A and B are shown apart, each in its own frame.
Chain A
Amino acid sequence: MLDNKSTGSKIRNVVIHIIVIGLGLICLLPMINIVAISFSGSAAVSANRVGLVPVDFTALAYKRIVEDSQFWHSFGISVVRVVLTLALNLVITVPMAYAMTRSKGEFPARNLYMNLLIFAMLFNGGMIPTYIVVKNLHLLNTIWSLILPGAVPVFSVILLMNFFKGVPKALEEAAIIDGASQFQVLLQIMVPCAKPSIATVSLFSIVGSWNDFFGGLIYMQRVEDYPIMTYIQSLNIDLQELVKNAANSAALENVAELSNRNLNAAKIVVAVIPLLLIYPFLQRYLISGLVMGSVKE
Chain B
Amino acid sequence: MIIVKQAYRKACLFWERSMVIKMKKNKSSISSTKNKNSLQYHAMVLPGMVFLIIFGYLPMFGLIMAFQDFVPAKGLFGSQFVGLKHFTYMFTLPDIGRVIRNTLIIALGKIILGMLLSIAFSILLNEIRMKFLKKTVQTIVYLPHFLSWVVLAAVAMNLFNIDGSVNQIIASLGFEKINFLGSNNVFRKLLIGTDVWKEFGYNSVVYLAAITGIDAGLHEAAAIDGASWWKRVWHITIPGMLPIILLMTAMNLTSVLSAGFDQIYNLYSPIVYEVSDVLDTYIYRIGLVGRQYSFGAAVGLCRSIVALIMLVGANKITEKLTNQRIY
Q: Do A and B come from one complex?
A: yes
| Residues of A bordering B, CB below 8 Å | 1-3, 8-9, 12-13, 16-17, 19-21, 23-24, 26-28, 30-31, 33-34, 37, 48, 50-51, 91-93, 95-96, 98-100, 102, 106-110, 113, 116-118, 120-130, 132-134, 137, 148-152, 157-158, 167-168, 171, 174-175, 177-183, 186, 188-189, 192-193, 195-196, 207, 210-214, 229-230, 232-233, 235-236, 239-240, 242-244, 246-247, 261, 264-265, 268, 271-272, 275, 279, 282-283, 287, 290-291, 294-295, 297
Q: Are A229 and B52 in contact (CB under 8 A)?
A: no
Whether B288 lies near A128 (C-beta < 8 A) is yes
Mask of B58-76 contacts with A, CB within 8 angstroms, 1/0: 1111110100000000000
* Complexed CA–CA distance, A189 and B11 (Å): 7
The total of chain B residues at the interface (CB under 8 A) is 115
CB atoms of B56 and A120 under 8 A apart: yes
Q: Which of A17, A149, A186, A261 contacts B158 (CB 8 A)?
A: A261
- For B91, the chain A residues whose CB sits under 8 A away are none
Contact B48 A96 (CB under 8 A): yes
In this assembly, does B235 line the interface, its C-beta being within 8 Å of a C-beta of chain A? no
Q: Is the CB of B153 within 8 A of A193?
A: no
Q: Which residues of B contact A108 (CB under 8 A)?
A: 38
Check if A91 sits within 8 Å of B47, measured CB to CB.
Answer: yes
Q: Closest B-chain residue to A108, C-beta based? A: B38
- Interface of B with A (CB < 8 Å)? 3-4, 6-8, 10-12, 14-15, 18-19, 21-22, 25, 34, 37-38, 40-45, 47-49, 51-52, 54-63, 65, 121, 124-125, 127-128, 133, 136-144, 146-148, 150-151, 153-159, 161-165, 168, 179, 181-182, 197, 200-202, 205-206, 209-210, 213, 219-220, 223-224, 228-229, 244, 247-248, 261-262, 266, 269-271, 283-284, 287-288, 293, 296-297, 300-301, 304, 307-308, 311, 324, 327
How many angstroms between the C-alpha atoms of A12 and B157 in the bound complex?
36
Query: How far does the alpha carbon of A193 sit from the alpha carbon of B156 in the complex, in Å?
Result: 42
Distance, CA A117 to CA B115, complexed state (A): 29
Among B19, B41, B59, B271, the residue within 8 A (CB) of A99 is B41
Cβ contact within 8 Å between B38 and A243: no
CA distance A270 to B148 in the complex (A): 13
Q: Is the CB of A297 within 8 A of B147?
A: no
The 5 closest A-B pairs by CB, nearest first: A129-B62, A125-B59, A178-B18, A95-B44, A211-B148
Say whether A158 contacts B327, CB under 8 Å.
Answer: yes
* B-side contacts of A127, CB under 8 Å: 284, 287-288
CA distance A28 to B139 in the complex (A): 10
Q: How far is the CA of A149 from the CA of B158 in the complex (A)?
A: 34
Task: Name 6 interchain pairs, CB-CB below 8 A, sorted by A.
Answer: A116-B52, A120-B52, A128-B65, A167-B4, A244-B269, A279-B146
Q: Which residues of B contact A31 (CB under 8 A)?
A: 143, 155
Most buried by B among A125, A129, A195, A211: A125
Chain B residues with CB under 8 A of A3: 223, 229
Q: How many A-B residue pairs have CB under 8 A?
A: 314
Q: What distance in Å separates the Cβ of B285 from its nearest Cβ neighbour in chain A?
A: 12
Chain B residues whose CB sits within 8 angstroms of the CB of A174 once the complex forms: 11-12, 14-15
List B contacts of A195 (CB < 8 A): 3
**Given known contacts A48-B168, A279-B143, A236 and B45 CB-to-CB distance under 8 angstroms:** no
